[in-house]
Amino acid sequence: MLKIFFKLMNNSVFGKTMQNVEKYVDMKLVCAWEKAIKLAAKPNYDRTTIFDDNLVAIHMKEPKYSMRK
């Protein structure tokens, strides 16, 4: 039982190190067109998916931060 536990822990740590967090997408579901237009004006806006007249998905990329002096 203990051997299986450590094997699973090792596999989970390896899997977490292999994830590519740069491909993550922040998706916001919006019902109002005014809110969708405000989100689309942001610099990390990626694309829009329209489901219905009253439901829109706004895909946002993670903002890039840099350490400058």
pLDDT tens by residue, 13-46: 888 788 777 778 889 999 999 999 999 999 989 9
C-alpha closest to that of 55 among 27, 28, 26, 31: 31
In a domain, 28, yes or no: yes
Domain count, the chain: 1
What is the structure's pLDDT at 13? Answer: 86
The boundaries of the domain holding residue 42 are 24-64
The answer to the question of residue 14 being in a domain is no
Whether the model clears a pTM of 0.75, i.e. scores above it, the answer is no
In a domain, 69, yes or no: no
User: What is the dihedral sign for C-alpha 42, 45, 50, 55?
Assistant: negative
Residue 45 lies in a domain: yes
Whether residue 7 is contained in a domain is answered as no
Q: 40 pairs with which residues across the strands?
A: none
DSSP state of 63: P
